[in-house]
Amino acid sequence: MARAELSNCKRLLVKLSGEALMGEREYGIDMSTVTEIARDIKTNIDNGLEICLVVGGGNIFRGLSGAAQGMDRANADYMGMLATIMNALAVQNALEQLGTPARVLSAIPMPTVCEPYIRPRALRHLQKGRVVIFAAGTGNPFFTTDTAATLRAAEMHCDAIAKATQVDGVYSADPKTTPDATRFDELSYDEVLTRNLKVMDGAAIALARDNGLPVIVYSMLGEGGLSAVLQGTAPCTTIRNDANP
């Protein structure tokens, strides 16, 4: 999928980090920030795009950090999955307050809080114009929400994955600490893996490559939001099979 073809996406999975929901806070959820994200999603839904979301939980709890502090890694990851459910409910609330129907589907059954993840049900929600928010990762420890996002995108037959970050694409190094870092317009999956670029974990990139899923990395802080990226008027990095970095 070349950059010029991004505007032809019919179904898109948007991956948000938990940190994206913090706004200017040091932790937790800033509802004004969540509302701005929801407004960007709504704009694209109103324009006919089908959207599903995966939200991380790093603003509340991160499994790897918990394991580093002495917790059992599996237990720490389960705590992180529960954090993603809280974030998903916050995003659902913001979308529905804007008049956009949304459903949270969790890989960990929690019927009094949200729907369990059932693939045909998720597909029906998308076909009916609802935003589907996938929570609790894959339901298994040792897998990141990046991998969960790629898995769900493949299952939902999405045209691409849009990963919202705090920078406008993939750089050769962290642009916050390396001012002369190079930004890439396009990369191949193998280039990302070979250069060890930290845009997504290796399992997620390999899964995207094996399923031919382009990954669009863009800044959620950029002017025009996701719409501008899809229309080709905002910078981003596209990761795909036949890219020429």
Q: Tell me the pLDDT tens digit for each residue of 141-150.
A: 999 999 999 9
Q: Is the pLDDT of residue 133 over 60?
A: yes
Give 204: exposed, middle or buried? Use CB within 10 Å, 0-12, 13-18, 19+: buried
Q: Is the pLDDT of residue 245 over 50?
A: no
As a whole number, mean pLDDT of residues 62-79 equals 77
Range of the domain at 30: 11-239
Residue 6 resides in a domain: no
* Model pLDDT, residue 63: 55
The CATH number of whichever domain residue 208 belongs to comes to 3.40.1160.10
Q: Is the pLDDT of residue 48 over 50?
A: yes
- How many domains, in total, are found in the chain? 1
Give pTM, 2 decimals. 0.91
For 157, phi and psi rounded to 5 degrees?
60, 45
Assign 176 a pLDDT band (cuts: 50, 70, 90): confident
Residue 4 resides in a domain: no
Residue 57 resides in a domain: yes
Residue 60 resides in a domain: yes
Residue 3 resides in a domain: no
Q: Is the pLDDT of residue 67 over 70?
A: no
Q: Is the pLDDT of residue 138 over 80?
A: yes
Residue 1 resides in a domain: no
As a whole number, mean pLDDT of residues 35-39 equals 94
CA 74 – CA 82 distance, rounded (Å): 13
Residue 212 resides in a domain: yes
Question: How is residue 130 annotated by DSSP?
Answer: P
Nearest Cα to Cα of residue 27 among 17, 15, 19: 19
Assign 1 a pLDDT band (cuts: 50, 70, 90): very low
Residue 244 resides in a domain: no
